[in-house]
Amino acid sequence: MLKALARRSHALERFLDGWSLFYENIVGRIGLFLLILFGLMAVLSYIPPLIDPMYHPMTGVDPDVFKSSPPSWKHWLGTDNIGRDLLSQLLTGARIAFLVGITAAFMSIVFGTLIGMVAGYSGKIIDSLLMRFADMVMVMPSLLVVLLLSSLFGQLNIWIIVVLIALFRWPGISRMIRSQTLSLKQRPFIDMARLAGASHLRIIFRHILPNVLPMALLYMTFRVTSAIIVEAALAFLGFGDPNTVSWGMMLQWVWKTGHMFQAPYWLLPPGICISLITLSFYMMGRAMEEVLDPRLRKEIQTD
């Protein structure tokens, strides 16, 4: 009991030390502020349709508007060409960005971590087979493959897009986790676990996984940015989910209706939001990298 309490207090102390280092980093603070801002946007996206069905991002239409209109008191960001409120669409796009980015990144992290740990721990034939498979997936042009699938099967559901993004984003993580696993399995505590009779699964999930998890979560922040960009690119090219209001779909609508240069109030907000949310996750990742890598922290302090 005392040992468990000591471990928990030590873990809490490490967390607080890491948080203090993160908070001292100006890049991390800016990224966290932007992330909180977009989180509030995602939460607020549920409110406009409750105020008036006219503000529903997909089906709501202002009966008094028959063309794209600039910002007004009734529509703070203006409307699209059929009278739908752009602010409600922008808020909904934040929710979709979090959904796509975090879900796809989490799935790719799970795939990559499991495959990397199995490859690094098993070694020899299994390691070679898994890494060669990872190399094959890594060199495939993921966006082109998804575009080909979309052209064959029509516009894809948002969840199918999430799964496809995850299936093409795990190889880089698996190689990083594999290298860490190769180093960890030579450590004395792994030898002690083997001598104690621990099974291979217990060693992988009880002793190796906790040591590689912080680095996997770090890479997750970078995978979120790529997932958001891929989904936006697919939607802009017309291969996104037509029943989902995302920032990429907003850009596709403004381009398809010929308002690209006539309605900057329609074009700029989703483009700026895509740039800022990807920047926020990247900045969070950079700050977390300095917390997890003492060598990088020393180099920065020296500079």
Q: What is the DSSP string of 240-281?
A: S-TTS--HHHHHHHHHHTT-TTT-HHHHHHHHHHHHHHHHHH
- Judged by DSSP in three states, 85 sits in strand
Query: Which candidate, 100, 233, 229, 226, places its Cα nearest to that of 172?
Result: 226
> What ranges in the chain are assigned the alpha helix state H?
2-24, 26-44, 48-51, 86-122, 124-139, 142-153, 158-169, 171-184, 188-195, 200-202, 209-236, 247-256, 264-292, 294-302
Query: What class, spelled out in words, does domain 22-62+74-302 have in CATH?
Result: mainly alpha
Nearest to 280, CA basis, from 109, 29, 13? 29
**For the chain, which residues make up each domain, given as ranges?**
22-62+74-302
> What three-state secondary structure class fits 24?
helix
- pLDDT of 249-302, one tens digit each? 999 999 999 898 889 999 999 999 999 999 999 998 888 877 776 555 544 444
pLDDT at 71 over 90: yes
Q: How much is the pTM?
A: 0.85
pLDDT in tens, 75-128: 999 999 999 999 999 999 999 999 999 999 999 999 999 999 999 998 889 999
Tracing tokens 């897009």 back to the chain, one arrives at 161
* Predicted local confidence at residue 109, as pLDDT: 93
Q: Is the alpha carbon torsion for 199, 202, 205, 208 positive or negative?
A: negative
Instruction: Report the range of poorest mean pLDDT among 12-16, 37-41, 94-98, 102-106.
Output: 12-16
Beta bridge mates, 85: 79
Three-state secondary-structure class, residue 57: coil
263: left (phi over 0), alpha (psi -120 to 50) or beta: beta
